[in-house]
Amino acid sequence: MVAAAAGVSRATVSRVVNASPRVTESVVAAVNDAIARLNYVPNRAARSLASRRTQVIALVVPETTAKLFSDPFFASVIQGIAMALADTDFTLNMLISSETRSEKTRRYLLGGNVDGAIVVSHHSGDHSYAQLGQSLPIVFGGRPLLASESGSYFVDVDNAAGAAVATEHLASRGSRHIATIAGPQDMPPGLDRLAGWRHALALRGLDDSLWEVGDFTPESGAEAMRRLLARGRPIDGLFAANDQMAAGAYSVIHEHGLSIPGDIRVAGFDNNYFGSTAVPALTTIDQPSAELGAKMAEVLVKLIERQSVERVTLMSTRLVERASTAP
Amino acid sequence: MVAAAAGVSRATVSRVVNASPRVTESVVAAVNDAIARLNYVPNRAARSLASRRTQVIALVVPETTAKLFSDPFFASVIQGIAMALADTDFTLNMLISSETRSEKTRRYLLGGNVDGAIVVSHHSGDHSYAQLGQSLPIVFGGRPLLASESGSYFVDVDNAAGAAVATEHLASRGSRHIATIAGPQDMPPGLDRLAGWRHALALRGLDDSLWEVGDFTPESGAEAMRRLLARGRPIDGLFAANDQMAAGAYSVIHEHGLSIPGDIRVAGFDNNYFGSTAVPALTTIDQPSAELGAKMAEVLVKLIERQSVERVTLMSTRLVERASTAP
DNA sequence: GTGAAAGCGCTAACAG
DNA sequence: CTGTTAGCGCTTTCAC
């Protein structure tokens, strides 16, 4: 180790690099100076081999969700993770784990190649990696679908609260027959946003039977809207569980010669450009996606460093009012 | 190394793991069996320390492009990289490198922490990391802006050809006064798409003075369209250098009481949902984004393994015809 | 507070 | 073809 040419031993240099408290100040300065001068960069491999810590965090992305990236929300979450980690000594290792290789992923994770993992999936309820949580620090994006897996650490957005806010907003603007296009009922966001809609209607004493299920795609939103209108009952408000489905619903509403917000006020959830570029611009619920990712990274790092952390972190949402719910 | 309990030496196990050709078949079988039985996973750190190869590839993302992820094109490129790498033993390490830390990134890359790097940026012409190419295998996404940096390896989409195809398509549908909203003229895609538009018009002997520059955002597209219309000259065709700007132009065209494609046929570039969700749906040029990423990974891996590769790889585009250019 | 010595788990010559 | 012998560059007891 050349830096030892700073007049000290390799061990001391190591201490300085690792910010050990028990090193004389003058020595620290001398070593740091030498490090800068020699352009020294510690070798990660050697370091982890000796310390038995890898400084690597895995980002597990179930491949069935190859579309993951095409969803701006997740892209943003991942960005948040990357940004948060950039301030630490941890490195991000993306694992696209297809179903056929999930066993391989599992072994890789347990093989001492990473210090912890972040699991992000469209099927965020899928905590099938939850069991690993006992052998390796893991943080999930999204609450588990099953209560039985509630032992895991996770960061989630408060879906129910957000949905309730959007619904109440529609009501406050005057809508009385508020329908919803819910997400898949086997995914927590699908369930929770429907529950939030119900909750808000209950508080107002409004009817909560006007709901159809979609799969978060624009097409499914259009179909669901078609089914809702086919019921022949009055509808003057719509809460779509995401902006994509709201966009799909838009086209059907227009097809039927109805206007937004004139005949039907519409609110979505996610705040992405499906909503912002729609005409009229869509009122929606904004999720702090990058912050969510950053929080996941933060929780994981604490977990790895054995600091105490909450098992559950819920991030709050924000209503973004736009033309689609004008009074 | 427990697997040595398969009756052979550590060295032999190593050979089997690394698929060395000179090992007796029966021995290979025995070792593999033991590996499976003992659930053995090689330690990456030890491996790279000994072999002096890290099996890590850096994905460098200049942070000035924090919006990088919000662009579906790049998200898809990154996905392609990740997918391609999943089939190899290489691991992806994302580096969000802010300007202030670019020196740190540089040192990290040269510090023996990675075997190679992929640089992806909005300012794809920025090959400021190009110099590193001499000490470390590097592949860039997008051609360099300066010819002087042409020594680097890069994978790019054939922007000029795509733009020409879109423009010729407008002409073939009957447009004779074809304008363009170009991208920034300090970015290769901005330059090349403008050049492609010019080229196509030249072949037809059409006027090529109708152009304005935008910055790839919808807002800039709207402003550019406003300026184009303000010229007071006839326009019956528009090629926007990306779908976002085309979307921006849409609103201005409609504001002016003009119809698409009735009065003006419009074509974009990128094929993302700005175009597919626009009304009428936008004819555009599709880029094989995921394949582009995959190709970058492939080229880099070959470079690392000292196989021969082309310095330049151009991927071809595809015209996606939609309502905005109906005859 | 600092140095010396002993590995971390694996690969890479070099002999056999 | 396979075993032996050395390290890879760093952290970490354990003395001093």
B130-141 pLDDT tens trace: 778 888 899 999
Indicate the average pLDDT of chain B.
Answer: 88
pLDDT(B175) > 90: yes
The pLDDT of residue A150:
63
pLDDT(B164) > 70: yes
Average pLDDT over residues A118-124: 74
Question: Does the CB of B92 have a partner CB in chain A at under 8 Å?
Answer: yes
Q: Which nucleotides of D are covered by protein (CB under 7 A)?
A: 1-5, 7-13
Query: Percent of chain A scored above 70 by pLDDT?
Result: 89
Q: Which of A140-144, B51-55, B59-63, B256-260 tops mean pLDDT?
A: B256-260
A-contacting residues in B 146-205 (Cβ below 8 Å): none
Contact check, Cβ <8 Å, B93/A96? no
> In Å, what is the CA distance from A221 to each residue of A77, A189, A244, B275?
24, 16, 7, 19
Query: Percent of chain B scored above 90 by pLDDT?
Result: 53
| Residue boundaries of the structural domains of chain A | 2-42, 56-157+289-314, 159-287+319-325
Average pLDDT over residues B5-26: 85
| Helix or strand (DSSP H, E) at A327 | none
pTM over 0.75: yes
How many Å does it take to go from CA B14 to C1' C14?
16
Provide the 8-state DSSP code for A122.
S
The pLDDT of residue B98:
59
pLDDT(B123) > 70: no
d(CA B139, CA B301): 10
B-contacting residues in A 19-58 (Cβ below 8 Å): 39, 41-46, 48-49, 54
The pLDDT of residue A87:
79
Indicate the average pLDDT of chain A.
Answer: 88
Question: Does the CB of B110 have a partner CB in chain A at under 8 Å?
Answer: yes
| Helix or strand (DSSP H, E) at A224 | helix A218-230
- What secondary structure, in 3-state letters, does chain B show? CHHHHHCCCHHHHHHHHCCCCCCCHHHHHHHHHHHHHHCCCCCHHHHHHHHCCCCEEEEEEEHHHHHHHHCHHHHHHHHHHHHHHHCCCCEEEEEEECHHHHHHHHHHHHCCCCCEEEECCCCCCCCCCHHHHHCCCEEEECCCCCHHHCCCEEEEECHHHHHHHHHHHHHHCCCCCEEEEECCCCCHHHHHHHHHHHHHHHHHCCCCCCEEECCCCHHHHHHHHHHHHHCCCCCCEEEECCHHHHHHHHHHHHHCCCCCCCCCEEECCECCHHHHCCCCCCEEEECCHHHHHHHHHHHHHHHHCCCCCCCEEEECCEEECCHHHCC
Say what the alpha-carbon torsion angle A101, A105, A108, A113 is, to the nearest 10 degrees: 140
Residues of A within 8 A of B287 (CB-CB) are none
pLDDT(A261) > 90: yes
pLDDT(B162) > 90: yes
pLDDT band at A65 (very low <50, low <70, confident <90, very high): very low
Tell me the three state secondary structure of residue A19. Answer: coil
d(CA B151, CA B133): 9
Question: Does the CB of B67 have a partner CB in chain A at under 8 Å?
Answer: no
A6-32 pLDDT tens trace: 788 888 999 998 888 888 888 888 888
Question: Does the CB of A104 have a partner CB in chain B at under 8 Å?
Answer: no
Considering the four listed CATH numbers 1.10.3720.10, 3.40.50.2300, 2.30.40.10, 3.40.50.740, the one that applies to the domain covering A159-287+319-325 is: 3.40.50.2300
Tell me the three state secondary structure of residue A283. Answer: strand
Provide the 8-state DSSP code for A148.
G
Residues of B within 8 A of A108 (CB-CB) are 41
At B242, phi and psi to the nearest 5?
A: -155, 165
pLDDT(A69) > 70: no
Cβ contact A22 with chain C strand, < 7 A: yes
Which of B71, B93, B94 is the best residue to mutate to test the A interface, defined by the most A CB atoms within 10 Å of its own CB?
A: B94
Question: Does the CB of A68 have a partner CB in chain B at under 8 Å?
Answer: yes
Task: Determine contact, residues A143/A202, Cβ cutoff 8 Å.
Answer: no
Q: Are strands B318-320 and B284-286 parallel, antiparallel or unpaired?
A: antiparallel
Out of B52-56, B76-80, B139-143, B259-263, least confident range: B76-80
With CA atoms as reference, the chain A residue closest to B101 would be A86
| Helix or strand (DSSP H, E) at A126 | none
How many Å does it take to go from CA B306 to C1' D4?
31
The pLDDT of residue B65:
43
Question: Does the CB of B280 have a partner CB in chain A at under 8 Å?
Answer: no
Among B42, B75, B82, beta carbon nearest to A75: B75
A158-196 pLDDT tens trace: 999 999 999 999 999 999 999 999 999 998 999 999 999
Min Cα distance A102 → chain B (Å) is: 12
The pLDDT of residue B121:
74
pLDDT(A230) > 70: yes
pLDDT band at B243 (very low <50, low <70, confident <90, very high): very high
Cβ contact A49 with chain C strand, < 7 A: yes
pLDDT(B157) > 90: yes
Tell me the three state secondary structure of residue A289. Answer: helix
Out of A164-168, B140-144, B221-225, least confident range: B140-144
Nearest residue to A84 (alpha-carbon basis) of A304, A308, A327, A298: A298
Out of B118-122, B292-296, B314-318, least confident range: B118-122
The pLDDT of residue B66:
53
Q: Which A residues between 52 and 71 have a beta carbon under 7 A from any strand D atom?
A: 52
Average pLDDT over residues A95-109: 69
The pLDDT of residue A255:
95
Specify the fold of A56-157+289-314.
Rossmann fold (3.40.50)
Out of A177-181, B86-90, B314-318, least confident range: B86-90
The pLDDT of residue B70:
59
CATH number of the B2-42 domain: 1.10.260.40
B109-122 pLDDT tens trace: 887 889 999 988 75
How many Å does it take to go from CA B41 to C1' C14?
27
Task: Determine contact, residues A313/A155, Cβ cutoff 8 Å.
Answer: yes
Min Cα distance B187 → chain A (Å) is: 24
Question: Does the CB of B5 have a partner CB in chain A at under 8 Å?
Answer: no
pLDDT(B145) > 50: yes
pLDDT(A99) > 80: no
Token reading at B128: 């400021």
The pLDDT of residue A147:
60
Average pLDDT over residues B69-74: 68
Among B43, B93, B247, beta carbon nearest to A91: B93
Classify residue B282 as left (phi > 0), alpha (psi -120 to 50) or beta: beta
The pLDDT of residue A144:
80
